[in-house]
Structure 1
């Protein structure tokens, strides 16, 4: 799942000079305790296994995983109390940028693990923060893709579409056959983002956010095409798509209720839990009418950051080194259906075959929402758009909220 860690960094937060940030210390049995704070609830079980393995190899270190239900609020409160975790695993987004500027994390530009990371993902972190230093190790990457039911495609004689017109034609054919083309789950506001991110990334232009920051463009210009295409797609949804949540969608798609599911690849493990026998595949969104032109949106889903004030730096670094080893990275991506940010670690799940060519040629771009401050409320605005379908109102609201945030800086 792709939920941005919505850390609300109030005012001009300054963490430099904090003392005694980590609440962890030394346990009664003499072990050094370090806290690992991560924001992905679906990865908790995976990290539990990895922690167990790490502690067997390092019997003097006790790793305590924190994965609270409302991670952003918890982290904000702890920051106010000057009680940062030793290692933080979060997404490469605007919240990470704010924390990096605030001095929350150690500069990892010279960390040995960084040399094995694909340069594109390192650059994404620099682009997000606008800093030359790197304050986290990109760990796992995800991707927005069209998940499709191969059985339904075969039954209806459908081919994987390569252009936007073919994409809409495919949806029309599914609809004409009396089936649902796309299953939407807009009760959870964040689920508006996967499809919108791809549409925006491939139509807004390479310098959109730079131009937006300089005041030379606006959402009403750069995102107009994305909005139009987003509204086109939701016309091929189902009844009560604003009343269904993410878990509902995973189960419904697993049962064969729709031919396609506009989600991220993180949904696949959940779909397979609901139906282990489903024959599914993925393909890149064809946003334009030039075959192969559209880029896959793939950002840093998980990075590893070291607290700048940890009392147990050596132990925290050991944990990071363990996580970034090839063997551990492979285990994580296998369980979480992610792509590794490392050069020499590949994703071999057959269900993701449809994205391999795109990844191989490097035709990837970052998630646009990573550059939108939480206060703008992009996903909430999209949720309203999905209900009232008023494009002009949506774009005007985005520009208004963006300028409010900009004026406060």
Structure 2
């Protein structure tokens, strides 16, 4: 009887071990990617790999804290979606050994070097990039056709478009003022066109500063534009934005190409267009804010290293990029993928390839590498305060200068 019990226990342990050996746990802030991982699992199984992928998505506002705590306590997953570099949050996780570098012989030949730069630290690569993003103004083509509106070429023309829409009973812009990151993104995408990359380059080199009249004027332009936002916009979220834009409750949104998947799912009949934020005048060229969205990184908590690396190897192939793009309508970071035949995606890809600003000050910039960060500590609370009439455009500029000059040497003398 005892022998029988021992054999039964041994069998249970063996079965559990076999079942566990093929499980890869992945955490993300992107709930829209769930079907991507179902297809990845299916493809890997078709290739002979008995791997089960458990994908878990957390709210973006909670995600970083959950990953930090889980990895520090040893309860984290095998793989996580990591933020891009440079960036203080990701660099801290790397420095603390919570993200592991990919093996030296890992094949990353399908990625442009510019993309790999966003996952490289100390000569090591931390993660496989999954997407690049293009942000700007997305608009309802039906409204533009109805009122015979043209794509604005200058900021003043953008205001004229908004004014025409408002006079005809259409809300020009839907802005999710409740979510500070979205307001910072709005500021940044406007900055690359209104300020221009040369001004941002001068800022980076310390040849100008945040107190410059051009930066103050950008703040003022944005603050003046809020009369064209929906009523009560400071209480609205990005979920509200998605629903409102999808069902025609606003004509335009300051957002990213990642939003198209949700809009299309909510309303397949919606006709969406895109244009870069127009510059201050016709003498300037418009630019788009583009960036590598994130990477899939190996964690120090990895329990199934061999299968986790096999998943990452697949993520570095054009086949993964094809799956990813056809489900999410995002631009994959990997080269050689077959993208869906969508006009909006073709425009986004062309914008990324030909009109990306070479200098930026939001994600992917030097101004977010230390604290206080221009992103989280200045523009995020500052934009909310300015839109709530608690801060003037001049005060927002002063706050930026005072914060960044604490640690960024080129601005210390300004």
How far 1:297 moved relative to its partner? 1.1
Residues in 1 aligned to 2:402 and 2:113: alpha-carbon distance in whole angstroms = 35
List gaps (5 residues or longer) in structure 2: 1-15, 410-414
Match in the other structure for 2:109: 115
Query: What residue number does 1:381 align with?
Result: 382
Equivalent-residue separation in structure 1 for 2:254 and 2:393 (angstroms): 20
Instruction: Give unpaired runs (5+ residues) of structure 1.
Output: 1-25
Distance 1:229 1:154, change over 3 A: same
Match of 1:7 in 2: none
CA 1:116/1:398 → structure 2, altered by over 3 Å: closer, same or farther?
A: same
What is the distance in 2 between the residues matched to 1:99 and 1:165? 44
Normalising by structure 2, we get a TM-score of 0.79
Shift, 1:137, TM fit: 2.5
Q: How does 1:230-269 map to 2 (within 5 A)?
A: 230-269=222-261
Equivalent residue for 1:360, pick from 353, 358, 368: 353
Asked whether the equivalents of residues 142 and 338 of structure 1 are also in contact (C-alpha less than 8 Å), the reply is: yes
User: 1:252-300: per-residue Cα shift (whole Å, max 9, x none)?
Assistant: 1222222211111111122222221111111222234247822211111
| Partner Cα distance (2:233, 2:101) in 1 | 44
- Count of residues paired in the alignment: 377
Please, which of 344, 349, 362 is the counterpart of residue 369 of structure 1? 362
Query: Which residue does the alignment assign to 1:220?
Result: 211
Q: Which whole-Å CA distance do the structure 2 matches of 1:316 and 1:337 have between them?
A: 25
- Alignment pair present for 1:186 and 2:177: yes
Answer yes or no: is the 8 Å Cα contact 1:288–1:294 preserved in 2: no
Are residue 329 (structure 1) and residue 293 (structure 2) matched? no
Quote the Cα distance in structure 1 between the aligned partners of 2:175 and 2:183: 8
SS at match of 1:397: helix
Distance in 2 of aligned mates of 1:399 and 1:97: 24
Question: Aligned residue for 2:6?
Answer: none
The alpha carbon displacement at 1:41 in A equals 2.4
Cα displacement (A) at 1:312:
3.5
Distance 1:346 1:379, change over 3 A: farther
Deviations 1:349-387 (A, max 9, x none): 222343343233263457633242475263232222221
**Contact 2:219 2:393 (8 Å CA) reproduced:** yes
Q: How does 1:11-160 map to 2 (within 5 A)?
A: 27-29=17-19, 31-55=21-45, 57-69=47-59, 70-93=62-85, 94=87, 95-108=89-102, 110=104, 112-125=106-119, 131-160=122-151
Q: CA deviation at 1:321?
A: 1.4
The CA deviation string for residues 316-355 of structure 1, in whole angstroms up to 9 with x for no partner, is 2110112232222112122222112123225432223433
SS at match of 1:65: strand
CA distance in structure 2 between the aligned counterparts of 1:377 and 1:76, rounded to whole angstroms: 23
Is the 1:141–1:300 contact (alpha carbons within 8 Å) kept by the matching residues of 2?
yes
Q: Give the alignment partner of residue 315 of structure 1, picking from 286, 307, 315.
A: 307
Q: Give secondary structure in 2 for the equivalent of 1:369.
A: coil
String of CA shifts for 1:177-199, please: whole Å, max 9, x gaps: 33221111212222213321212
In structure 2, the residue matched to 1:8 is none
Asked if the contact 1:139–1:303 (Cα under 8 Å) also holds between the matched residues in 2, the reply is yes
Conservation of the 8 A alpha-carbon contact between 2:174 and 2:253: yes
User: 1:402: Cα distance to partner?
Assistant: 4.2
Computing the radius of gyration from Cα coordinates, the structure with the larger value is 2
**For residues 386 and 180 of structure 1, what CA distance do their matches in structure 2 show?**
17
- Residue pair 2:317, 2:334 contacting (<8 A) in 1 also: no
Q: Which moved more, 1:368-377 or 1:174-183?
A: 368-377
Task: Report SS of the residue matched to 2:258.
Answer: helix
Deviation at 1:169, TM superposition (A): 2.4
CA contact (8 A) 1:299 1:367 kept: no
CA distance in 1, matches of 2:101, 2:159: 46
Q: From the superposition, tell whether residues 406 and 376 of structure 1 become closer, same or farther in structure 2 (CA, over 3 Å).
A: farther
Distance change >3 Å, CA 256–CA 33, structure 1 → 2: closer
**What is the TM-score with the length of structure 1 in the denominator?**
0.80
